[in-house]
Amino acid sequence: MARLFRAQETLGVPDRQKSTSTQISSVDLPSPFGDLAVAISDDELREAAYEILSSACRTSGRSPNSSEPPMSSPSSSFSSPPSFQRSLTSTAASKVKKAFGIKSSSSSSKKKSPSMESPLKVIGLMKRKKVTVGELVRVQMGVSEQSDSRIRRGLVRVAASQLGRRIDSMVLPLELLQKSKASDFQDPQEYDAWKIRNLKVLEAGLLAHPLVPLQESDAAAQRLRQIIRAASERPLETGKNSESMQLLRNSVMSLACRSSDGYATDTCHWADGFPLNLHLYQMLLGVCFDNGENGSIIGEIEEVLALIKKTWAVLGIDQKLHNLVLLWIMFRRFVTTGQMDMDLLFAADNQIGEVLKDARSTKNPEYSKVLSSVFSLIMRWSEKRLIAYHDSFNPNNIESMECIVSLGVSAAQILAEDISNECHQRMREEVDIARTRTDTYIRSSLRAAFGQLMGKADSSRHTSSNQSTTAHLLVVLAKDIGDLANKEREFYSPILKKWHPLSAGVAAATLHSCYGSELKQFISGLTELTVDSVQVLRAADKLEKDLVYIAVEDSIDSEDGGKALIPEMTPFEAESTIAGLVKTWIKTRVDRLKEWNDKNFQQEAWNPKANNEIIAPSGVDILRIVDETLDAFFQLPILMHPAELPYLLIGLDRSLQYYISKVKSDCGTRNTSIPALPALTRCGASSRLWKKKEKPQIVRKKGSQVRAAIGQGSSGLPQLCVRMNTLYHIRTELENLEKKIKTCLRNVESAQADITNGFGNKFELSLAASQEGIQQLCESTAYKVIFHDLSHVLWDGLYIGETASSRINPLLKELDPKLEIISTTVHNKIRNQVITALMKASFDGFLLVLLAGGPSRSFTTQDSQILEDDFRALKDLYLADGDGLPEELVEKAASQVRNILPLFRTETESLVDRFKHMIIEAYGSKAESRFPLPPTSWHWSPTEANTILRVLCYRRDDAASKFLKKTYGFPKKL
């Protein structure tokens, strides 16, 4: 504090630049109070705060009508009780300092530096003058004597015109604007700047951050904005009879006298809105700290605080907000003045206790918001140091660590605490939060320290690919970690144990985990056990024993005896190492198998003549590789085959599943082969669409559409048959592999004859994928044959033009060789499955021609017999005089077509009536006047409206055509 006085030639002429330098360092923490949204500087805020303090001290003292002496001295600006006018030399040990846990300066064993000399002594050297608390506040806030005198004159004028009024019943900037004169200032520029500053304060307090929220349409607010905007272009006239001043007064008072219930009040609210009030109050509380480099608390803090509290009525501050802002300033001072004054740190830590009590007793949302912001910043700063406390603290400054841990933990507790909980629940949460945060500090800091140890060896390890070099580094690292663990137990764990009873154990477990990761990385590069690897394992084993000892010792007095901690320390056992090597071996083999899959599958031609089994060579090869991998696994010199076998089988199973997925991946599905349905149309008995001379043109058009729809890039029928055979071969061989595995297990574990009892099926993915793949290939093959290979005789030929002249015989004729290929190529175990799929596809194709064959087709009721005869011929193809598919299977598959064919012999009127009934039943009475168009469901059925509609669309008679034209307006031509 003394340095602040020495920085001025005299008390009355402060250097403006130097006064700003007395504030905290430019390397600052962000403000927790939020942005003011008004371009007002800290100096301007400080001046406004000083004016409020001056006014508050004056109105709280004797009445202006009393016979107080003229305010000629700086101290008289504060007409406060005599205790606040006393000389600084008379201050005793501050009770406030004691409350903060700060030692009295008189009892301190530290020798005072010149900068710590008393203000009276320094001032006496400059000017023989008695210094009061008010004078101390003025100098601390960087207010010159000239400014102080001007403020006093303004307040005297205000007091003369506002007899008996409290400070909270007036708007101080407004009163000062009207009562101050240009002659009070050194030059017009200073006067204009002062007016602008007061308008900024009004803007912040009444427009940006009013205590009572503003309505967007508030006329007074709009006028005030206009006045402030105009003042930025032309200086505001502040004379008593000035029209602009009257407008300003009316607007300001209208805004300041509002209340939350809508009624006017005697109390003026202009500086008590958040966060303006907190920014102003922060400026005042800054007086409590020495403006020197160490930023310590002044000895006169008790008197100064009593003075500052007089502003509470204006600023809307209560004890809770005071405690919170004071805590923030103490913490901020400690941080921004080099973190050297431990008294500030202790005071902030003690102040948190008061804030915690306040937080539990209030539910004010504004207070909670500020509380959260303050403690978020405190926690962020504290944790930045605690997550790497090995770098932040050493034996020279270890005493500060306890306070900083307390700050971080307390901040976390306050931020997480649910005030509505019962006391005992709340206390339990505090314990959990403290332990959790401390646990995070320990683990993160030790990981950072471990990383530094690793950094020493990084260059050597990365420049050398020699396994022996890496092994040596791991041995050295194990020793360094042991030393670090002992240092942790000696210096840091005793402090952290206050918040975490297992602090040393957590540290040991963390180091164990860090080294374990490096050890695992080393082992992952091993292909066999070597002398170097054994040396690493021995060093790791010794380190593990030391760390486990620390953890166990630290857990003796804990509730669970360390049961929750010890399991974290995954053992560095030789068996685990060998298991890791085995897993590496397995992974390498499985990865090679996948690489083989990707490389060789693209070369597969699916040639049916490649071998006698008519299966793909790639399918034979992948099964051979799997078989050889199993043989090599059971030859490994280990005793843990049963334990590691599932890991191998999972990899092999996935590799086979991957191959199976590629076998079926580019063969399409049932839906990719079915062409898109043409739009619905109508036809009449006299239509010329079905004359034979038009058939070639229509066939070419329709054929091009179908081929465009399904594509031309799929494999041929023989190749598809090879794919199905391959999947069936894999499924069969997997069963043989499982038998082989069981036999090998019995051989390597002869003492455990029942080891295979729980083996079960270990190729679930591959077996399921092969079964599913066979079914998919059967369907995709069948629909590709019907809708692609035979499209020219089915989609482009069947019933085109006249029904009687384009019957099903061409389709049957070309189906026969397809069946021959399937019979001679597909394995006999899945042959019927393929032919069944082909049968279902041909039945679906037959129905698609009848119900969605496009405008080239139409049928009369007389054609129904032809359709039934043709379908019977199609069924007979698959029955093959008893040598084909079972009759019950064929009849079951034909049931859908069999149910729909009678619709083609049903009279048109009957179909129309049935259709109308279905529509009304589906859509209700609203459909009687206008029939909705039923959606296409693809599930053809005589009880489904869309199916009936399609039969009518392809009915060649005038009655059907008229109904469709009248009901839906379908065209005759597309």
* Alpha helices (H) in 602-640, listed in sequence order: 617-634
pLDDT digits (tens, 9 = 90+) for 846-905: 999 999 988 889 999 999 999 999 999 999 999 988 899 999 999 999 999 999 999 999
pLDDT digits (tens, 9 = 90+) for 812-839: 999 999 999 999 999 999 999 999 999 9
Give, in order, the Cα–Cα distances in Å from 377 to each of 215, 493, 862, 947.
33, 26, 90, 72
| SS3 assignment, position 71 | coil
Residue spans per domain, the chain: 30-58+87-99+130-317, 437-459+472-572, 581-673+715-898, 906-968
Q: What is the DSSP letter of 927?
A: G
Query: Quick one: how far is CA 204 from the chain centroid?
Result: 36
Distance between CA atoms of residues 161 and 261, nearest Å: 30
Mean pLDDT, the chain, integer: 81
Q: Would residue 677 be called left, alpha or beta, if left means φ above 0 and alpha means ψ between -120 and 50 degrees?
A: beta
Whether the predicted pLDDT of 422 surpasses 50: no
Give, in order, the Cα–Cα distances in Å from 820 to each of 260, 266, 315, 782, 824.
93, 106, 99, 14, 6
Q: What is the DSSP letter of 955?
A: B
Whether the predicted pLDDT of 7 surpasses 80: no
DSSP codes, 104-144:
PGGG--SPPPGGGS-HHHHHHHH------HHHHHHHHTT--
pLDDT digits (tens, 9 = 90+) for 48-85: 999 999 998 886 543 333 333 333 333 333 344 343 34
- Whether 538 and 472 have beta carbons less than 8 Å apart is answered as no
Whether the predicted pLDDT of 532 surpasses 50: yes
* Alpha helices (H) in 863-953, listed in sequence order: 864-879, 887-900, 908-923, 945-953
Q: In the prediction, which pLDDT does 1 show? A: 35
Between 343-357, 409-423, 570-584, the lowest mean confidence (pLDDT) is in 409-423
Between 4-13, 483-492, 610-619, 778-787, the lowest mean confidence (pLDDT) is in 4-13
- Whether 796 and 706 have beta carbons less than 8 Å apart is answered as yes
More confident residue, 758 or 180: 180
Whether the predicted pLDDT of 111 surpasses 90: no
Whether the predicted pLDDT of 13 surpasses 60: no
Work out whether the CA dihedral 331, 335, 339, 340 comes out positive or negative: negative
* pLDDT over 70 percentage in the chain: 80
pLDDT digits (tens, 9 = 90+) for 127-184: 445 678 888 899 989 999 999 999 999 998 888 887 667 888 889 999 999 888 888 8
pLDDT digits (tens, 9 = 90+) for 560-596: 666 778 888 888 875 777 677 778 788 888 999 988 8
pLDDT digits (tens, 9 = 90+) for 670-679: 888 888 888 8
Q: Would you tell me how many other CB atoms lie within 10 Å of the CB of residue 602?
A: 9
Query: Quick one: how far is CA 504 from the chain centroid?
Result: 33
What torsion, rounded to 10 degrees, do the Cα atoms 387, 391, 392, 398 define?
110
Whether the predicted pLDDT of 699 surpasses 50: no
Q: In the prediction, which pLDDT does 108 show? A: 35
More confident residue, 707 or 744: 744
DSSP codes, 14-41:
--HHHHHHTS--SS-PPPTT---SS---
pLDDT digits (tens, 9 = 90+) for 793-812: 999 999 998 899 999 999 99
- For residue 3, name the pLDDT band (cuts at 50, 70, 90): very low
Amino acid at 326: L
Those residues with Cβ within 8 angstroms of residue 135's Cβ, 6 or more apart along the chain or in another chain:
11, 74, 75
Q: What are residue 289's DSSP bridge partners?
A: 297
In SS3 terms, 459-520 reads as: HHHHHCCCHHHHHHHHHHHHHHHHHHHHHHHHHHHHHHCCCCCCHHHHHHHHHHHHHHHHHH
With tokens 């902030």, the residue in question is: 348
Q: Summarize the confidence of residues 917-939 as an average pLDDT.
A: 82
More confident residue, 754 or 77: 754
Q: In the prediction, which pLDDT does 54 show? A: 92
More confident residue, 77 or 407: 407
Phi and psi at 526, nearest 5°, equal: -85, 140
Distance between CA atoms of residues 913 and 855, nearest Å: 24
| SS3 assignment, position 669 | coil
Q: Summarize the confidence of residues 373-387 as an average pLDDT.
A: 92
Q: What is the pTM of this model?
A: 0.56
More confident residue, 67 or 522: 522
What interhelical angle do 301-308 and 42-59 show, nearest 10?
Answer: 80
364: its two tokens: 């004010």
Whether the predicted pLDDT of 216 surpasses 90: no
Whether the predicted pLDDT of 322 surpasses 60: yes
Whether the predicted pLDDT of 524 surpasses 80: no
Distance between CA atoms of residues 577 and 918, nearest Å: 73
Whether the predicted pLDDT of 121 surpasses 50: no
Q: Would you tell me how many other CB atoms lie within 10 Å of the CB of residue 127?
A: 12
| SS3 assignment, position 816 | helix
Q: In the prediction, which pLDDT does 685 show? A: 67
Query: Quick one: how far is CA 858 from the chain centroid?
Result: 61
Q: In the prediction, which pLDDT does 687 show? A: 54
Those residues with Cβ within 8 angstroms of residue 793's Cβ, 6 or more apart along the chain or in another chain:
810, 811, 813, 814
Query: Exposure of 147 by Cβ count < 10 A (0-12 exposed, 13-18 middle, 19+ buried)?
Result: buried
- Whether 411 and 328 have beta carbons less than 8 Å apart is answered as no
With tokens 């019995």, the residue in question is: 746
Q: What is the DSSP letter of 68?
A: P
What interhelical angle do 399-416 and 365-386 show, nearest 10?
Answer: 140
Q: In the prediction, which pLDDT does 689 show? A: 47
